[in-house]
Amino acid sequence: MKRALFYLVLGLAAITFLYPFLWMIATTFKPPSEAGTLSLLPDAPTLDNYRAMFARAPVGRAMINSLLVATTVTASVLVLGSLPAYALARLDFPGRRFVHGVTLAYLLVPSQLTLIPLYSLIVRLGWVDSYRALIVPFLFNAPGVLMLHKFFLQIPRSLVDAARLDGMSEVRIVFGVFWPLARPALATVGIVTFMGTWNEVLWPLLVVRDQSTMTMPQLLTVFTLGGGAGTLGIQLAAATVLIVPVIVAYAFLQRHFIESMAGGVKG
Amino acid sequence: MRALTALVLALACSQPPPPPCGSPAFAPKLDYLRHLGMDLTIGGKRVRAVALYANAPDYRHTASPARDGSEGVACVDDAARAALVYLRDVEVTGNPASREEASRLIDFVVAMEQGNGEWINFVNADGTPNRTSPTSVASFSYWAARALWALAEGYRVLHREDLRPVLDRAVARFARELDSGRLVGGSVTATSEALLGVLAYLRVAPTPSNTSTALRAAQRLVKTEQRGIHIEGEAWHAWGARAVQALAAAAITLRRPEFAESARREADGLWARFDRGVPAGLEPDGSLKQFPQIAYGQSPIIEGYLALADATGDRRYAVRAGKLARWFTGGNSAGARMYDAATGRTFDGIQSATAINRNAGAESNVEALLALEAIAQNPVAVGAFQDVEPTGRAEITYWPAANPIEVDLARGLAAEFMAQNPDVIIHVQPIPAGRSSEEVLLAAIVGHATPDVCSNINSALLSRLVRAQSVVRLDTLGPTAARLRERASDAMLAPVRLPDGGIYALPWKTNPMVLLYNSDLVAKPPRTYSELRTLFHRLAKDADGDGRLDHWALFVKPSPTWFERFYDFYPLYLAGSRGKTLVEHGKVAFDNEAAVAALELLHDGFAAHELPLAMFEGRDPFLDGTVAMKIVGPWFLQQLEELKMPGLHYEVAPVPVPDGESPEHAYAFGDLKSIAIFATTRHPDAAGRFVAFLTSPAADRKLVELAAQLPYRRSLTDDPRIASALDRWHGMRTIAAQVERVRDIDIDRDIVEVLDIVSEAYEAASVYGTVSPARAVHDAAREAREVLER
Amino acid sequence: MRHERSTGLFLASPYIVFFTIFWLIPIAAALVMVFLDWDLVTPPRYAGTENIELLLQDVRFGRALLNTLVFLAVNIPLQVALALALALALNRNIIMRSFWRGTFFLPVVISGAAVTVLWKALYSTDVGLLNQMLNAAGVRSVPWLTDPTLAMPAIAVMVTWKNVGFYIVLYLAGLQYVPRTCYEAMAIEGATPWQQFRNVTWPLLRPVTGLVTTLSVINGFQVFIEPYVMTGGGPLRRTLSPVLYMYKQAFGYQKMGYAATIGVALALIMAACLFVGRKLAAGKEAA
């Protein structure tokens, strides 16, 4: 009996978390007259909202932009970020303490502090409305470097020495020896970076004005705020398009998502 | 700290290069004409006239000499045309001295009318009219024609109702001449001038009888055409050649292209033979009689060309006018400067290639000034007049606003301009549909990628552009200065003049906000706040009986976003503030009764739940009848037409004024969009010509017809070149009447922040009622002062 | 040895160049911009301490900070309570644990922009789901986002909903460190579940609660997209967040210097809050 009550309450809680999404998706298929009704099944289902959305906003383009930016940044954080991570872990070079210190310290710097100066820099460089503005400031990120660094420290010295004796260059060592062993860390950093970049909306709002360069979350924001969206159904259609790929990926890779994003904090 | 800052400054800034020079502005001077003025007393009334002659070297007033019959000291003939000169100045500058002068000259003209539409011409020094000279006897001859012309323009510009009876008599008398088939005074020119008078009168009194008189006059002029010149009973002489000007003007006002065709034939035929000035006349064998070339003779040809340019849209006429006008500045057979730029004095004429008549009488000067003023108002003619050096091929980038209609308009106008100006190429690049053109432009400045011309400049942006020294000054650049002179009055330009007196962007269009109302729900539009309050009460209904109101009188957004105030608080405030805006010369200007009254009005509505506290996301409550009224601009008329809501009948009225205020003192909110030339341009003159073209009467007409937007132009509702386009949109005429009484937001770099503060005051006082309107205004003024005083 | 040093430098140099340009210089620039009056287009003007003085008197900034306090006052307790409760629930021997956990965590991975748009629709006075539900139950619609006292709490509730899954996972991880033996011992002694919780679970979870609070505070000070999309900072400035205010100053009024000043002030305030919080927590622990 107590168990049944327990599961009932738990179920209600879960519904609180799921129902809004279901309602949102349902509303996107409802005509304006039905918008806002409680039912999850529209009386007169329609694709008009999606049609209107695609007609009014370059959704496909924005999705591609998001994908492009997120993939490039993630790849860079992993590939480029491995270099300093390895250098910090296994090589002694002048300024090593300094580099490590900067990386640690930057974790403490809140983003609000650098937002405006970074924007000013982008403007002076003439990078407004370009992919560069969305990608270059994020080629490396501090938590990523630190996480990889920590993981690399755990890889036995002997492996490195053996590889060096074999005549491998340091770069080959990073990608040939460390990478295969660092899959969990790479997955963690990869997922966190990818999701963070995919969902980022404030930075694109600052540096991108041209619709054809906007990322999807940004387009959704601009679309909703600017009134171009019109009715509720169209607004929610844009939101749906943004989140459905993530939900699908999440459904399959739930464990990895959770371990990466929540596990990463503890480290 | 300072050193570090200096380093940052050095690294971070790049000063733009100083703007290039284009051709200078031109405006004729009236000083000498004023010198010719003389006071007279006629029938006990103090009036003003002009001295007939003034001879070198001292140019004292000189009366009609004995050899002419001692006609008198002054005449209606000259006074009437002098009045025209001053009236044109009043239209442009609003100068009270010119207004006074024009008015008293017209008083003189009125005093000489004989009560039946006939005039006496000359008057003696003691004020007695000369009734006997053939050039003065009471009749409807050439001086009466000029009197009619002056009275009509005087009525139109000065709004003097007392002139109406005289005017009507004169027109009636003119009509009788036409009935008899006669030319006025037997002269083509006199008839032409009378016709020009009736055409001016038609602008403000478009009665069928006036229209008919004008038509018949024009037709009578067409009849005089023989072998390509308009002449009857005498040889062609330059100072008698006004038919072209009158017929071209008639073609525009009466919408009869055949009149323009008739005028063209003389211009394309005979006039094309003129070189370095207009000759005296024609010999019997058809050859040109060159001398004496008089100032008086240049004017009808120049003005005729300009009128034809307007009527046909062919800029070559304007170019020829400009070239001929060089006669005044040395482009004549004697190489003499006939017009003195310092005083505005013009010599009477050239006797031969070596002999100049340095006297400077009224007729020469009046006609010279009429011609030069007409040139000064035509950008193309001014360029030709000043003999601007062609600079070779010019490529210009032009950024219009992003909305599709304006882009189409822009491309069409650019194509037309390129067709007429083969040395210029225009690249039209719409501003990307990003968040705001402000940021796009400012980013372009920082990135050194600015266009040559941009037409989406609003006042907030302009102040920053000027501070960044990014834009060219337009009231000193030839073509744009001429356009400003032609298009706007000083009063209209005052709000866009920067503290240094310069105009840095040409105010292109304005959207005066008016009250749009559903005529099925509202029979009589509210004129005052009280009437509006009554409507709030009457129209707040619960139609579906669910206990909640679902119909309201007015849609006012409860949102605190600063630009929403353009649709509620700001228009209501301007209706009662007698021209005061929010910020003037960097100081708070809204700390007054009008602001409190506007907030109170809205507060009362919200407090009584008679104004909807909803945002109506995704739908327009006016369109479906949920609200009966909305404050909108003219662009909405186009949306209304496109949507064609069945059963929706709407009308337009000015925004209600506070109780006790007069509608005459009210201003409408009209956000101005201006066109600017960026200082990075390498072709300021070509850019200037293009901007002048974008704001020409023909282009403005398209703006009204295609985009339902209103050009920031004076006398828009009666300008024959454009006014008929207003009828394309239902309700547009009412809105157009507001164009000259419009206030924009102030050109101050902090204006957006001030508007945010005002919006928050609106929210607190009107929407939520947490603070009294007086207190809210006071607090907002205080916060705004802090922002402004930085 | 030398080879290692130069290789190390070589490998680290792109990173060094990067963080100099994108991390170090912006931080320095932020500090410099505090003393400038600059709109990025016209040459900057040296403004001395004007920006600082203005910020100290700025009513709107004060309001933004107050709003953040309101936000945190709703968000933190709600978040801690919900996360802990649900973590405790999931910590038991239950079926479909990964399903429950996955459901609660779902909003965390979803973009903040989408969540904001969704909740804007949920809260809408006309067609919002919440009000529809209330109406169906006979209750009048509540103006969630247009009532000055309700707006910020409404946003706080939304943010709680979005993030609670994350904190559930943190608590779950923390709960792993609570030895079962402790509970068994207390159960034998006759302690009620509540006493077990109060005396064992809660103290042992203090580090996690500390982490949750810290992260919530950091998050709370960075709130932007929610008020930006849902309310624009109103009604009556009650949802104006500090970052939104900074954004307005920079992009609405082009006052880059003042905006940078706000950024620096925010960073300092946040550091102070966390520092004070740490001290308090340490004090409590010692006691």
Beta strands in B373-443 (DSSP E): 394-399, 424-428
C-alpha distance from residue A125 to each of A130, A194, A209, B304, B352 (Å): 11, 26, 16, 56, 67
Of B1, B446, B561, the CB nearest to C35: B1
Check residue C157 and give its pLDDT.
95
| Domain assignment present for C227 | yes
Question: What is the number of structural domains in chain C?
Answer: 1
Domains in chain A, CATH or no CATH each: 24-31+42-262 (1.10.3720.10)
Residue C123: which of C236, C230, C244, C232 has the closest Cα? C230
Residue C164 pLDDT greater than 90, yes or no: yes
Residue C126 pLDDT greater than 80, yes or no: no
Residue C189 pLDDT greater than 80, yes or no: no
| Domain assignment present for C187 | yes
Angle formed by the axes of helices B295-312 and B243-254, nearest 10°:
30
Task: For residue C127, list chain A residues with Cβ-Cβ distance below 8 A.
Answer: 35-36, 232
Domains in chain B, CATH or no CATH each: 37-223 (1.50.10.10), 235-389 (1.50.10.20), 390-504+673-711 (3.40.190.10), 514-669+745-789 (3.40.190.10)
Higher pLDDT, B553 or A173: B553
Dist CA B450 CA B463 (whole Å): 17
Cβ of C42 and B559 within 8 Å? no
Measured in whole angstroms, the distance separating CA B739 from the mean position of its chain's CA atoms is 10
Contacts of B356 (CB under 8 A, 6+ apart): B334, B336, B338, B347, B349, B350
pLDDT one-digit tens code per residue, A36-87: 677 778 778 888 889 888 888 888 999 999 999 999 999 999 999 999 998 8
DSSP chain A: -HHHHHHHHHHHHHHHHHHHHHHHHHHHTS-GGGTT-S-SS-SS--SHHHHHHHHHS-HHHHHHHHHHHHHHHHHHHHHHHHHHHHHHHH---TTHHHHHHHHHHHHHS-HHHHHHHHHHHHHHHT-TTSHHHHHGGGSS-HHHHHHHHHHHHTS-HHHHHHHHHTT--HHHIIIIIIHHHTHHHHHHHHHHHHHHHHH--HHHHHH--SGGG--HHHHHHHHHHTSTT-SHHHHHHHHHHHHHHHHHHHHHHHHHHHHHHHHHHH-
Q: What is the pTM of this model?
A: 0.81
Confidence of residue A182 (pLDDT cuts 50, 70, 90): confident
Dist CA B608 CA B184 (whole Å): 69
Of C89, C136, C264, the CB nearest to A113: C264
Dist CA B552 CA B541 (whole Å): 6
| Domain assignment present for C260 | yes
Closest Cα in chain B to C148: B768
Check residue B3 and give its pLDDT.
43
Q: Is B557 on the interface with C (CB under 8 A)?
A: no
| Alpha carbon of A218: minimum distance to chain C alpha carbons (Å) | 8
Cβ of A123 and B446 within 8 Å? yes
Cβ of C11 and A232 within 8 Å? no
Which residues constitute the domain of residue C76?
59-286
Task: For residue A232, list chain C residues with Cβ-Cβ distance below 8 A.
Answer: 121, 124, 127
Cβ of B434 and A32 within 8 Å? no
| Domain assignment present for C155 | yes
Partner A, chain C 264-283, Cβ-Cβ below 8 Å: 264, 266-267, 270-271
Cβ of B617 and C124 within 8 Å? yes
Of C12, C40, C107, the CB nearest to A87: C12
Dist CA C210 CA C221 (whole Å): 17
Check residue B13 and give its pLDDT.
47
Dist CA B83 CA B79 (whole Å): 6
Residue C142's CB is within 10 A of a number of other CB atoms, namely: 16
Give the rounded percent of residues in chain A with a pLDDT score beyond 90.
26
Q: Is C218 on the interface with A (CB under 8 A)?
A: yes
Question: Is the ipTM reported for this complex over the cut 0.90?
Answer: no
Task: For residue C259, list chain A residues with Cβ-Cβ distance below 8 A.
Answer: 116
Check residue B328 and give its pLDDT.
94
Of C94, C100, C127, the CB nearest to A36: C127
∠ CA B517-B522-B524, nearest 5°, is 100
Task: CATH number of the domain at C81, please.
Answer: 1.10.3720.10
Residue C234 pLDDT greater than 80, yes or no: no
| Domain assignment present for C92 | yes
| Domain assignment present for C38 | no
Q: Structure tokens of C82?
A: 């919900």
Q: Which of A117-121, A125-129, B433-437, B460-464 has the lowest mean pLDDT?
A: B433-437
Task: For residue B760, list chain C residues with Cβ-Cβ distance below 8 A.
Answer: 234, 236-237
Q: What would the mean pLDDT of A111-126 be, rounded to a whole number?
A: 87
Check residue B8 and give its pLDDT.
46
Write down the H helix ranges in chain C.
2-19, 25-33, 50-57, 59-91, 97-109, 112-123, 129-136, 148-175, 180-189, 193-196, 202-204, 206-221, 225-230, 242-247, 256-286
Confidence of residue C285 (pLDDT cuts 50, 70, 90): low
Q: Is B443 on the interface with A (CB under 8 A)?
A: yes
User: What is the block-wise mean pLDDT of chain B (790 residues), using blocks of 10 residues?
Assistant: 45 48 83 92 88 86 78 91 96 94 95 92 89 88 95 95 95 94 90 96 94 95 90 84 95 94 94 89 87 91 96 93 94 90 92 89 94 95 85 89 87 95 91 63 78 88 85 94 95 89 94 93 93 92 80 88 90 93 90 94 91 77 90 88 85 93 91 93 93 96 92 93 92 92 86 91 91 94 88
Q: What would the mean pLDDT of C255-281 be, rounded to a whole number?
A: 89
Check residue A170 and give its pLDDT.
80
Closest Cα in chain A to B444: A126
Cβ of B618 and A32 within 8 Å? yes
Closest Cα in chain B to C248: B753
Check residue C9 and give its pLDDT.
84
| Domain assignment present for C18 | no
Q: Structure tokens of C242?
A: 């500090």
Helix (H) or strand (E) holding B673: strand B668-677
Q: Structure tokens of C77?
A: 């307790």
Check residue B11 and give its pLDDT.
47
